[in-house]
Structure 1
Amino acid sequence: MPLDIGYYLPGSLAIAAFVLCAMGGLMAVRRFSNLDRLRLHHDVAGNMFAVGGTLYAVILGLVVVDAIGTFETARTTVEKEADAIANVVLLAERLPADKSAAIKSLCERYILEAVDGEWPLMNQGKVDEKAQNLVVQLLREVSDFEPVTENQKIISPLLIQRSLDLMDQRRARIGISLNGLPSVEWLVLCVGAIVTIVLTYFFHLESYRTQLAMTALIALLIALNLYLVLLFAAPFTGDLTVSAGVFGYVLSAMRAS
């Protein structure tokens, strides 16, 4: 089984390995390079590091903010999906007993399948076809109802709209779970991290331990931000995920009513 750094323990090990590699690179430069020559180019290296470091910091910061936004969007989408289910159940109570029972049964089955089946599958980057079929069955059940009374004629289109809202929010959730950060962005972030770390090697401080500590801190800061991107850009995988708890709350309310 491949190492999944979306989990905290493997991720911590990956961060530690990144920092150690950065320190190892500095050790190699200090051992095999002409240190006097490095001192001669401190001014140029300083300007290069300022430009490269600032540019990378801006790019990394924007990606981190975007990843956090993706996570919050996923959380809001799940809440709206649960709200749509609750609305369908509430509206169904105004229908005849047999139709109301059929709609509530489909809603309950969907919640159970989403929590017990779809969430674990999304953690693997997959889609639960059974949950999709239950949503389609629910929409058909709602659409097949022929209203008779004036009250039912008002309820029926609202019920269809809420069922469509449920389908739309589920589609949005699945889209977020399947579309992570593009590979080209990861390539830019990783290459930028390496370049930024390497630029620190073009300086020579009299205190070897001080420079080693500074390089380690810069590498740690970059690694932590990259790990934030990894965690937040995939809201349904790893240890930091959007919970399905709101579905459980809706189910409890359904069974209590």
Structure 2
Amino acid sequence: MSDWLHNLPVPWMALVIFGFTYLLAAVIFAAVAMVATEERAKSLKAISPGMLPVLGIIFGLFVAFTAAQVWGDSDRASAAVSREASALRSAVLLAAGLPAEQETRLRGLVRDYIGHAATVEWPMMAHQEVSLRVTPPALAEALQLVVAMTPQGGGQETVQREIIAALQQALDARRQRIIVSLAAVNSVKWWCLYLQGACALLAIGLVHCDNRLGGAIAMGLFATGVATSVLLIAAHDRPFAGQISIHPEPLLQIMPDAAAKN
């Protein structure tokens, strides 16, 4: 689906999806009504109603397979953000074991990184524009700062090693976050989902071709189910886009003033 649809508020997204689905159902209903003349009605009525459960099951499987991908991407995105926040929190806490000047510098770099992630990377992830080719300067500088440090005693040596591990974990979590932000249900799956839904609507219309009111009600009910399924998937399709998305609050809780500074 297009970028603008994913970034719509849920009520507007619902309006677009339900409107399109009902329009599709109305077109199919009108086409069946035109074709099902008195001469052809008997032939069309001969279509077995047993096709409806089969088509419905196939549509349900399409929805389940597509939703499984979406839920998996959402879980991975949430886990990556939590792991990134946890690693940065560990680095900030361990910084207390460094000399005062280096502790202040490290905290400032972590604050700058969080501010950049919240104000720059998050909007870019919503539009799938962020790239792994660019390393965040603040986090890279923080890692260089700790690596270049000359520890004084075994305690600082342990702190240095743990901070380096935490910063590397944060970088890895950021990579996972960006990779997941580029994931989405591709257009082939969307077309197949709607094509299967259209086939089921057509079958309902043909089976009820001699009962216009009954056919309209049945097609309306199934179209509502199709639109609801599509809305549920589309609203969660991109973990970092739209009204229902993963926000940078776990990162901002580490340095609450990071977003304001940037």
**Fold agreement, TM-score > 0.5:** yes
1:94 aligned partner, one-letter code: G
1:5 aligns with 2:8: no
Q: Please provide the CA RMSD for this pair.
A: 2.4
The offset of 1:35, in angstroms, is 5.6
Gaps in structure 2 of 5+ consecutive residues: none
The offset of 1:238, in angstroms, is 1.8
2:96 aligned partner, one-letter code: E
Contact 2:17-2:231 at 8 Å conserved across structures = no
User: TM-score by structure 1 length?
Assistant: 0.88
1:174-213 equivalences in 2 (<5 Å): 174-204=178-208, 207-213=211-217
2:241 to 197, 222, 237: 237
The offset of 1:3, in angstroms, is 7.7
1:1-257 equivalences in 2 (<5 Å): 4-6=4-6, 7=8, 8=10, 9-34=12-37, 37-39=40-42, 42=45, 44-127=47-130, 132-204=136-208, 207-252=211-256
The offset of 1:37, in angstroms, is 4.2
2:184 aligned partner, one-letter code: G
Structure 1 residues 193 and 139: alpha-carbon distance in aligned structure 2, compared to 1, 3 A threshold: farther
User: TM-score by structure 2 length?
Assistant: 0.86
**How many residues matched?**
253
Gaps in structure 1 of 5+ consecutive residues: none
Structure 1 residues 35 and 53: alpha-carbon distance in aligned structure 2, compared to 1, 3 A threshold: farther
% of aligned pairs identical? 21
1:105 aligned partner, one-letter code: G
Deviates most, 169-178 or 21-30: 21-30
SS at match of 2:136: helix
The superposition leaves residues 130-180 of structure 1 with CA deviations (integer Å, 9 ceiling, x where unpaired) of: 772222222222222222211112111111111011001100110111121
The offset of 1:44, in angstroms, is 4.2
Deviates most, 201-210 or 215-224: 201-210
Contact 2:114-2:251 at 8 Å conserved across structures = yes
1:234 aligned partner, one-letter code: R
The offset of 1:36, in angstroms, is 6.5
